[in-house]
């Protein structure tokens, strides 16, 4: 494990395992804010942003994000060429959370159904019933599930950003 203090305000931990304090702080902000600005990269290497509604699941492997979304030709092309995206959360108190992830469409019908149930079981406003958008369920042709596997996670309160403490950041350079 390497701990690096950058500019005296950021603490970077490089490890295959996300520390509980970083994952917990990230999930707390992300699930409170709910909506993330998600950026992919187009065929010319330019960022393209949209607003999405990820749900983050703590697992033995660390942290996994899930998004129900239409697999539009644009999203499919972006992720097919560059299978990475960035999710950024911000709230009016200036708390922020960012996850840079490898992303891929989930094909397995059982996993898609399980993710739908995760969204249905989560309390509002994070939780919702995807059937309101896709009445035919997770097998509907225009229903997609994206899996997000973070390789870098950062979460900070306004006080941490203002410099009263280090901003915990985790990254897995092999991710």
Q: How many CB atoms lie within 10 A of CB 157?
A: 18
The backbone torsions φ and ψ at residue 158, rounded to the nearest 5 degrees and listed phi first, read -60, -40
Q: What is the pLDDT of residues 14-51, one digit of tens each?
A: 677 888 889 999 999 999 999 999 999 999 999 999 99
Q: Which of 23, 82, 74 is nearest to 50 (CA)?
A: 74
- Mapped onto helix, strand or coil, the DSSP state of residue 43 is coil
pLDDT band (50, 70, 90) for residue 3: very low
Residues 11 and 3: their CA atoms lie apart, in Å, by: 7
167/89: higher pLDDT: 89
The backbone torsions φ and ψ at residue 108, rounded to the nearest 5 degrees and listed phi first, read -65, 120
Positive or negative, the CA dihedral 11, 13, 19, 24 is positive
Residues 122 and 112: their CA atoms lie apart, in Å, by: 16
Three-point CA angle 65, 57, 165, nearest 5°: 85
- Mapped onto helix, strand or coil, the DSSP state of residue 124 is coil
Residues 158 and 105: their CA atoms lie apart, in Å, by: 34
Q: What is the pLDDT of residues 86-139, one digit of tens each?
A: 999 999 999 999 999 999 999 999 999 999 999 999 999 999 999 999 999 999
- Outline where the chain has alpha helix (H): 20-33, 73-81, 109-121, 158-159
């Amino acid at each position: 494990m390497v701990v690096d203090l950058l500019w005296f305000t950021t603490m970077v931990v490089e490890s295959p395992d996300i520390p509980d304090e970083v994952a917990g702080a990230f999930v707390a902000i992300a699930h409170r804010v709910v909506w993330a600005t998600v950026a992919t990269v187009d065929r010319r290497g330019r960022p393209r942003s949209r607003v999405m509604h990820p749900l983050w699941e703590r697992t033995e492997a660390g942290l996994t994000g899930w998004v129900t979304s239409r697999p539009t030709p644009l999203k499919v092309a972006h992720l097919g060429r560059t299978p990475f995206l960035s999710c950024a959360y911000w709230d009016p108190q200036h708390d922020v959370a960012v996850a840079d992830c490898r992303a891929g469409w989930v094909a397995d019908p059982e996993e898609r159904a399980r993710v739908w149930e995760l969204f249905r079981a989560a309390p509002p406003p994070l939780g919702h019933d995807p059937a309101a958008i896709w009445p035919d369920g997770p097998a509907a042709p225009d229903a997609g599930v994206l899996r997000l596997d973070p390789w870098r996670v950062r979460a900070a309160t306004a006080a941490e950003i203002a410099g009263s403490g280090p901003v915990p950041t985790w990254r897995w350079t092999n991710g």
